[in-house]
A and B are shown apart, each in its own frame.
Chain A
């Protein structure tokens, strides 16, 4: 870990200034925000993230940690802890997929430390990204190549990859937000704005080092999730190599609106399989207006992987992913969901 400058501003205005000051003085010296630190500190110790200036948001952004549900929109402060949100009664009863995606993530200790905003911005677990002694990593050093293609890539993505990067986006919570069409609120040097959550993460293409559409110095302040006929009948299925404290091999967030067994609306998002939070739009289109049963679920699951590209060690993820979609759809359909 290289020495760095640390500040803990007490007001949001000051935070925004300190987040950008460094940028203007020296383009090389990046100011990086610290929330729970469970991604950032880890990567600093590994020498992967080398900020010269760390701006701790924990004093200034405390106002953005509330959880409120007014019957039509769930507002989640970006600094709320994963554990708090996972345990919140409104979240559990009205947005089960959100509660489950959080409580099935990481460990109790991490969930107590980590914030929602930090969770959305967690970095990939690609082993080659996390070890700077591997020279080839386009995400770490643009243009250097990709050590994972041709390396050990069992955990890498099969959807959204490019020939420049195949790193998986491992977060769970993001899949629930994808499925529920969430939006995020931002504050930055140029003021406040909002954007659909689906626009936050960028596919690697030929610029895998550009991961989000955040502008320099911008902070995520809130997450807004609209209520809908599908939110209560929603579920998160996470398939993994051990029972807890492990990233997904494949995960599926499903939200369903049914009339009898007829699908009136459906949302499917996939985790552990793609380079970014991933919505399986074609699979949804195929199901909308049809009966949900083993056959239609299987057909939808196949559709979701139409464009999948497997590497040497991860072809099985396509099959696990398809099974996970079928399982998630049928289990969600079987939920006792009451209209609120």
Chain B
């Protein structure tokens, strides 16, 4: 029966098939990494540093070792160089953080593992870890932007611009000059960071949730100094990732070494708190945006400078202004990016990594400009809509930004807005309406897939893709079903295993855009072997039966537009190669959206809630409107969370996180999420990739925080430029 929550198949919309793995997830039989039961498993527990910077002077293991059931305790004295120092991801390697936790006595950040206890049970390991005596030589850490000892660097290669910003800005009639900031945030996927390692002779099997299993395989081989072909990484289900499980972390090598030393499988399930340090996170950012327009609202100058926190060990710079400054037509543009090196663990990618913080600043500044111009914010964007990006003049492959604004605005009822701040009210609640653009680069990487068609009409598709909850199984089954004309119920899928044909990281919203073309290509090859020529997919089975063959299996690899031929070899070595967005020589490819929200602020006590949110998104072909709808609505909810709730709080005295648990790190609960509507605007883009897919994993999150802050201004007349937005920011004195 048709479900009215999302569009049904028409035009660029595919069939809203139900999730391939829905039953296993609902009945609990889906096996996540920590569910795998291995005989004679030893349980690991990490002891982590309680100082922000310094050196371990001594470790006293006597009491811990005396606890019955303790098998072994690893420390820097026993691990040291057994894990090799390798290149980090950001300098061309694999691992997401180049500090080796038990590599030396050096402490680089609070929460760094300093010992790993192996015991017969989790509880014994935990008790023993707490009995380890540690003494440190403590140095003062630089915890964030304003700390003493922070190392601030301008990243000149990331400068961008066109025209003469300074001159144009100086002479403009209407200007905005504002500074914004976004907080530290952690992904907090439901599934914890778990790793199980088991050796069989010199062969190692790793069960670990990941967004890029081949990155784990090849990176781990490098760290351990063994042949990658001896390593297999398996995980058919990932319990949420959002970027946190994107790349190899240092914990995996520790577990592998521990398992080798004691000759038993080792299982680590890090605690929620430890997860705040074991993997990446969204670091805090600061922004300075300057905009100038003529009296009709046309932008004549725009500048966006960003400051991002990174670790001492690794420089990560997301530079989302490479997109914000290309969103609208403007002749004079300037962009700069700076990083602050601090004594923290290395940040990384979190859903809309550069897009979310930079969009917050830029789309808020545009709203400020609209008010300064006394212009409707939607009209301001219409006036500055463009068919070519403004810096190099490259064409957009397709751009449906204003269609999104119109569709979402109509559904929201934007025309009923009264412009003056504080002019709308419902009883004790002040109402505010706001909007912002959403965008996300359309990217893709190289991919391989294998498809087998059997004479009984069954199809099997396999590729080392990742099911994070986004719908990878379903997409893979659906593409093969459509290409070969077999019912989807006859298609089975294998993924989440490095023994399968490689595909790219499940990140950058590029999973479907990368893998769907490879599956299509393998299906094409099957049709070619059956010589069905140009006949429709429905004839494939007839040809198969006529052929007398039992099975046809085809392997295909596809190379993404913009990637060099040698990048295909990289795919077979777990490298990250993704192209697209604003980084192509010939064109620009972005998915767009528009988001409208209504906020309510209690007139007295100032609780701030989002009562309504409508987003419209154009992202090329939508293979499955059901799973795409889930991504978009989920993304919008993430955006509400990002604007109103989430903030990892730092105690500057030791650069620690003091709310690293799910009770104190606020995420919205059901009652916070009222009416969230996602509309899919039909869009055809045959340039981006063979599947015409732009990807919907992240775009839903991108504009939300700005739309909410803009709505708060409309409700109260207060411009809030620092996230998250909390009661104290909208207070009025009694």
A residues near B (Cβ < 8 Å) are: 1-3, 47, 107, 125, 127-128, 131, 133, 150-152, 154, 237, 239-246, 249-250, 298, 301-302, 316, 319-320, 322-324, 326-327
Contact = CB atoms under 8 A, between A and B. Distances in A.
A243 B640 CA distance: 13
A6 to B, nearest CB: 14
Contacts of B607: 239-240
A133 B50 contact: yes
B649 A322 contact: no
B645 A241 contact: yes
Contact of B651 (A107, A151, A237, A301): A151
A319 B107 CA distance: 42
What are the nearest 3 A-B pairs in CB distance? A316-B728, A243-B671, A244-B671
B375 interface: no
Interface of B: 50, 123, 126-127, 130, 602, 604-607, 609, 644-645, 649-651, 653, 658-659, 663-664, 666, 668-672, 726-728, 731, 733-734
Contact of A302 (B653, B668, B670, B734): B734
A169 B220 CA distance: 48
B188 to A, nearest CB: 15
Contacts of B123: 1
Contact of A241 (B127, B670, B727, B733): B727
B669 A244 contact: yes
Contact of A242 (B650, B659, B666, B734): B666
14 contacts: A1-B127, A2-B127, A3-B127, A127-B664, A131-B658, A241-B666, A242-B668, A244-B672, A246-B666, A246-B669, A316-B731, A324-B605, A326-B604, A326-B734
Given A152-B649, A243-B609, A244-B670, A322 B734 contact: yes
Given A1-B127, A323-B606, A249 B727 contact: yes
A322 B650 CA distance: 28
Given A1-B126, A242-B645, A327-B605, A319 B733 contact: yes
Nearest to A135: B50
A114 to B, nearest CB: 14
A216 B731 CA distance: 45
A47 B271 CA distance: 14
Contact of A127 (B645, B658, B669, B726): B658
Contact of A151 (B605, B609, B653): B653
A16 to B, nearest CB: 30
A117 to B, nearest CB: 22
Nearest to A150: B653
Contacts of B666: 241-242, 246
A224 to B, nearest CB: 32
Contacts of A246: 666, 669
A249 to B, nearest CB: 6
A240 B727 CA distance: 8
Nearest to B609: A243
Contacts of A240: 607
Given A127-B659, A152-B649, A298-B734, A239 B670 contact: no
Nearest to A134: B50
A2 to B, nearest CB: 6
Given A1-B126, A237-B605, A241-B726, 18 more contacts: A1-B123, A128-B658, A151-B653, A152-B651, A154-B649, A239-B602, A239-B727, A242-B644, A242-B666, A243-B671, A244-B669, A245-B671, A316-B731, A320-B606, A320-B731, A322-B734, A324-B604, A327-B602
Contacts of A319: 731, 733-734
B669 A243 contact: yes
Contacts of B50: 133
A244 B664 CA distance: 13
A133 B668 CA distance: 29
Contacts of A237: 605
Nearest to A237: B605
A47 B607 CA distance: 35
Nearest to A326: B604
A16 B365 CA distance: 66
Nearest to B650: A152
Contact of B727 (A2, A125, A316): A316
Nearest to B658: A127
Contacts of B609: 243
Contacts of B649: 152, 154
Contacts of B670: 244
B68 to A, nearest CB: 10
Nearest to B130: A47
Nearest to B731: A319
Contact of B672 (A243, A250, A327): A243
Contact of A125 (B664, B669, B672): B664
Nearest to A325: B734
Contacts of A152: 649-651, 658
Nearest to B51: A133
Contacts of A316: 727-728, 731
A243 B666 CA distance: 11
Nearest to B641: A242
Contacts of A242: 644-645, 666, 668-669, 671-672
Contacts of A245: 669, 671
A322 B605 CA distance: 9
A93 B260 CA distance: 66
A319 B727 CA distance: 10
